[in-house]
Amino acid sequence: MRKKLKQSFIDQLEGIVGSKNFSTNEIDRIVYSRDASVAEGVPEAVVWPESVDEISQLLFLANKERVPVVPRGAGPSLSGGPVPLRGGIVIDLSRMKKIISFNEKDLQIHVEAGCVITQINNFLLKQGMFFPPDPASQDVCTIGGAISTNAGGMRAVKYGVTDRWVQALKIVLPTGEKTWIGTKTRKSVSGYNLAKLIIGSEGTLAVVVEAILSVYFVPETRRMIKAFFNDFESAGQATFQIMSKGLNPSIMEFLDEYTLGAISKYTGANYCRGKAMLLIEVDGSRDEVERKLPKIEKTLKENKGFEIEVAADDEENLKLYSARKAAYPALASLSLTCDVEDATVPVSRLPEMLKSIERISKKYGVYIGTFGHVGDGNIHPNLLYDERKKNEREKVEKAINELFETAIKLGGTLTGEHGIGKAKSNFMKLEHSPESLQLMKSIKKAIDPNNILNPGKMGLM
C-alpha cells in the first residue's frame, strides 16, 4: 500500500500548475472517481494544467516520488480507463483546448489534447472539411481521449477509427520528457511506428498533449436506406455481401427487435417489424451515391429484406439517423442500469454472434438489446438491469463473461472501440497469448519503469 501524498509534494504540485488549476478538496476529488463504468477510485489530487511544460514538470515530479498519474479527457468512457484505481493525481486536460493551426494545403489540423471532437469539426466545417471518427460521445469527448482509446463510431466502417487520422502526436513520457512522434507526411516507414503504439494505449505509456490530425472533405451528399429482416442470418448475410461487394457504406448499423421496440416506444414512430433492421448510409459525390443505392437495395432484397426505403431528402436522412441515435437512450429508459458492451467479431461470424447473444439473454434471464456497427462487426449488446440488486448484478456479470468468451471463440476481440481499462482487464488472457501479454508488459516497463502512468489498467501491472 502506497503512503499518502506528502505535503511537500502537494506544495510542489500546486507550485507547478498554480492554485486555480489544482485541488485536493474532497468535492473535486470525488467527481473524478468515476467514469461511465462501474470502476471506482478516488484521486488524492486533481490538476488542470494549461501547458505542456506544466505536464512535463508534473510527471517528472510524480515519477521521482512514484505517485500514480491518470490522464483524463471528458471521461465518457465505459471501461474505467480514466479512473484512478490507485489514487495519485488525475490530470484533467479539459483546459488545454486550443486549435493551434490549420494547414489547408496538407489537410491537417494541429490541436491541443483537450479539444472536443465537435469543437474541431465546427472549425473544420467552415472550411468544408471534417474529422471523420465519430464516437457517440463526440460532443463531449476530447481528442486526447479519442486517441488514447483509439475511438471509433458509426462512420468507422468507411473512414476507419482514430488511428487512421492521426499523423503525429506530442507526448509527455512518464519521466517528464516531451517529444513529437509520428510524421506529417502521408507515408513514412522511418523506424518503429511509435504514434500507433501510443494510440489506444489508454494513458498507460504517455500523456498525449497535442496532435496533428488528417482531415477530409465533407462529402457532397449522404443518403440513408433502411430495411427490415425476419431473421439474423439474412441481416448478417446482407451486411456481409454489401461489404464484400465493395459498396463501401459510410454507416452500416444493425438494430435488433428488442431495441426497435424500445425506440418505437421512446420516439413514438413505429419501427417494430420482423427481427432486425439494417440502417445503411452511403456518402460521396452525387453520381457515386446514385450508382451505389440500387446495388445496395438489390442486395437487401436478395437477402429477404423488406420495407426497404431510401431516404428521399435530408429530412428523411435525419429521421433515420435520429432513430439510430435514440437506440441507447431508448434502451436506457427501460431499466435503471444499462451496461453497453462492444465485443467485435469478423463480419462473416455476425449471425452466430447475434444468435449467441439471444441465447445468453435467455440463459441468464437478462434483457439484452443489441445494436451496433455491423459493417465492421462491432456490435453493442446493452444489458439492462437494476444495479442495486445483487442477483441481477451477478447474472449480468455471468452473461458478460459468456459474451466475451463467445466473441473470442468466433475469432473476435474483447472490444472494438470502448477499450480495456479496468472493466476488461481480467479478460485480456482470453484474447492474447502469454507471449503477447508479456510483450505488452515489457513495453510498459521500458517506457514507464515505475508504473506511474494509469496503473492497474489493460491487465498490465
Q: Minimum Å distance from CB 438 to another protein?
A: 34
118 is a contact residue toward another protein (CB under 8 A): yes
Binding to another protein (CB under 8 A) within 329-388 occurs at: 329, 332-333, 336-338, 387-388
Q: In the range 384-443, which residues lie near another protein by CB under 8 A? A: 387-388
Residue 288 grid coordinates:
457515386
Per CB under 8 A, the segment of 92-100, 292-300, 343-351, 427-435 that binds another protein is: 92-100
Closest CA to 221 of 131, 286, 271, 295: 286
Residue 318 touches another protein, criterion: CB under 8 A: no
Residue 282 Cβ, how far from another protein at the closest point, in Å?
Answer: 27
Contacts 24+ apart (CB under 8 A), 156-160: 156/373, 156/376, 156/378, 156/417, 157/243, 157/249, 157/250, 157/251, 157/252, 157/373, 157/375, 157/376, 158/248, 158/249, 158/250, 158/251, 158/283, 158/375, 159/132, 159/133, 159/216, 159/250, 160/132, 160/133
**Of residues 44, 54, 65, 92, which one binds another protein by CB under 8 A?**
92
* Interface with another protein (CB under 8 A), residue from 2, 4, 18, 30: 30
For another protein, give the closer residue by CB, 32 or 165. Answer: 32
Taking Cα atoms as reference points, which of 142, 125, 195 lies closest to residue 165? Answer: 195
Torsion of CA 355, 277, 320, 348, to 10 degrees: 60
Q: How many residues bind another protein (CB under 8 A)?
A: 34
We find the least distance from the C-beta atom of residue 310 to another protein, in angstroms, to be 28
| Among the listed residues 141, 106, 136, the one whose alpha carbon sits nearest the alpha carbon of residue 215 | 106
Closest contact distance (angstroms) between CB of 72 and another protein is: 9
**C-alpha cell, 351:** 449471425
Q: Judge contact between 457 and 204, C-beta under 8 A.
A: yes
Of the listed pieces 7-15, 25-33, 204-212, 369-377, which binds another protein according to CB under 8 A?
25-33
Residues numbered 34-73 forming contacts with another protein, rule: CB under 8 A? 34-36, 46, 48
Query: Which residue among 64, 86, 95, 184 contacts another protein (CB under 8 A)?
Result: 95
**Closest separation between CB of residue 139 and another protein, Å?**
4
Q: Does 126 bind another protein (CB under 8 A)?
A: no
Please identify, using beta-carbon distances, which residue of 118 and 193 lies nearer to another protein.
Answer: 118
For residues 36 and 443, which CB has a smaller minimum distance to another protein in the complex?
36
Q: Angle 43-49-55 (CA atoms, 0-180°, nearest 5)? A: 85
Regarding 112 and contact with another protein (CB under 8 A), the answer is no
In the bound complex, what is the minimum distance in angstroms from residue 81's beta carbon to another protein? 13
Question: Binding marks (x or -) toward another protein, 134..153, rule CB under 8 A?
Answer: ---x-xx-------------
Q: Which of residues 70-89 bind another protein (CB under 8 A)?
A: 74-76
| Residue 20 neighbours by CB distance under 10 Å | 10
- Looking at the Cβ atoms of 93 and 213, the one nearer to another protein is 93
Residues that bind another protein (CB under 8 A): 23, 25-28, 30-36, 46, 48, 74-76, 92, 94-95, 116, 118, 137, 139-140, 328-329, 332-333, 336-338, 387-388
